[in-house]
Amino acid sequence: MKPITTSTFTFRDIREGGYLYVDKTAIFHSLVQQFKGVFFLSRPRRFGKSLTISTLEEIFNGNKDLFEGLAIYNLPYNWKKYPVIRIDLGSRQADTSEKLEAKLLEAISENAHRFNLKTSGVDSSSHFLSLISQISESQGKVVILIDEYDKPILGNIDNPQVGEILKVLKAFYSVVKTADASIRFAFLTGVSKFSKVSVFSDLNNLTDLTMDSRYAAFLGFTQEELEMSFSEYIELLTKKEGISRQELIAKIRNYYNGYRFSEENVTVYNPVSCGKLFETQKFANYWFETGTPTMLINLMKNRRMDIDEEKKRWVDSEAFSAYEVERLEILPLLFQTGYMTIADTRQIGSLTQYRLDFPNLEVATSFTKVLLSRQTDKPMNEVTSAFGNLLAGFFQNDLGAVFLALQSLFAGINQELHIPLEKYYQSLFVMVFRLLGAEIQTEVKTADGRIDAIVQGADTTYIIEFKLNGTAKEAIDQIRDKNYCLPYKNTGKKIIAVGVEFSREKRNITEWLTEQY
């Protein structure tokens, strides 16, 4: 078996080190065989963007031998060597426009040094243009590769200087348009997709591949690629888990698959999660643990965003390319950063609309745990401890233990966090049951009302009604009087009605009652 690496992002190192490489070079070929172009691709972190830049660099350096055995090796391509300018902004953090100018000049100087050149100009953009012009005059058209184009923006979202930083980047990237006649190929990547009106306003020759169906599987692994490339590792994990190959594949798919980036129903796995799973032979939240979405969680908390309500909403395609630094929209950001993905699409005339959801169990459980920690103002270790008690109680059908754990979780919540509505407590309740891995529906319509929540356990259906400053008995009476249990009586499962009373004064669950049918 070829060894797996999740820490090497250089194509040459992967190939020369004999590491497992999932062959994406046929898609690379479709890009590089074009006479010229300026391309942009947005993908979440740890999805292989830097490896993509590195692979393009080797192709345009004419290093055909590195690709022996891969699809592109036998496809028609002339393997001509081009001068390559490569800029990585991931390691060039700056919190002012002046510092960013210095970092960009540093990047230009490093590239100029490789070509034994000295650039001239009054700022980073003019030095960039000088570099392109000098190289093209002596060596022909250039290739430009820019990785993490948006890092200076994302690192300064809350910085009053972000507007000035944006201006510097806008001027810098506009050079790619100005020098169009000297450029053979340009490729920019990043996590976010700030609109063309801001960062890329002058790049009207830019081809955006982010939601292009032809490149939906450019980064990440498809189901077929996973089963083929990691077949031997799958066999090892099958033995360790003590289940059939088919059962293991289903478990892997549920835990890690589900990222969808276009209208086409093509989903992919995150490469880091897959690599770590097969390398360690253990299921865990690998991708999520490489970074916590603090900024997004804080935005959601400040705007009192209900993630379950947002999952029901249809979003126009323009929402993914029209937001600005000054007016951040949470849902598109959740999509761009990988915490949510396309769950469904629909066409209304010429308008495409999207509905978003968590991509998989890894993201759903991890994101919910962080969100619950912020919403209850509890440290993560307390949330994790309460979750352990909840899990044990739920799977033993011990609702007493479940509600005691819920009370400990809700106890002492900062009063400023409270919204005097049932919806606040209901949203916390839903988050908890999602963490348990239970199937939960909210606001379920019936012939005579709307059920607050339906939770499906392995052998039990729970019909739950919440009352804020009402009584648990009133909640139970409502379930009985409106016959909420009727649709679930022929499922073969036990039905348990649960009435939950929340007290605004005590800011907690004060009583619960159950009734079995």
Strand 508-516 and strand 494-503: the pairing is: antiparallel
Highest mean pLDDT among 163-172, 206-215, 219-228, 454-463: 219-228
How is residue 345 written in tokens? Answer: 């699409």
Cα(343)–Cα(259) distance, integer angstroms: 9
Percent of the chain surpassing pLDDT 70 = 93
CB 175 within 8 A of CB 192: no
Tell me which CATH code domain 11-210 carries: 3.40.50
Q: What is the pLDDT of residue 481?
A: 92
181 CB-near residues (< 8 Å, 6+ apart): none
Cα(319)–Cα(344) distance, integer angstroms: 15
Q: Directed axis angle between helix 380-395 and helix 361-376, to 10°?
A: 120
Q: What is the pLDDT of residue 422?
A: 57
Q: What is the pLDDT of residue 296?
A: 78
Q: What is the pLDDT of residue 52?
A: 97
Q: What is the pLDDT of residue 340?
A: 93
The pLDDT confidence band at residue 414, using thresholds 50, 70 and 90, is: low
Q: What is the pLDDT of residue 116?
A: 96
- DSSP letters, 233-285, are HHHHHHHHHTS-HHHHHHHHHHHH--EE-SSS--EEB-HHHHHHHHHHTS---
> Is residue 88's pLDDT more than 80?
yes
pLDDT in tens, 240-286: 999 999 999 999 999 999 999 998 899 999 999 999 999 999 999 89
- DSSP letters, 32-87, are HTSS-EEEEEE--TTSSHHHHHHHHHHHHTT-GGGGTTSGGGGSS-------EEEE
Cα(274)–Cα(286) distance, integer angstroms: 9
Mean pLDDT estimate for the chain: 87
Q: What is the pLDDT of residue 325?
A: 65
Tally Cβ neighbours within 10 Å of residue 3: 9
> Is residue 71's pLDDT more than 90?
yes
Q: What is the pLDDT of residue 438?
A: 65
Tell me which CATH code domain 377-516 carries: 3.40.1350
pLDDT in tens, 339-374: 999 999 998 888 889 999 999 989 988 888 888 787
Highest mean pLDDT among 123-132, 170-179, 350-359, 502-511: 123-132
Domain boundaries, the chain: 11-210, 223-289, 294-357, 377-516
The pLDDT confidence band at residue 223, using thresholds 50, 70 and 90, is: very high
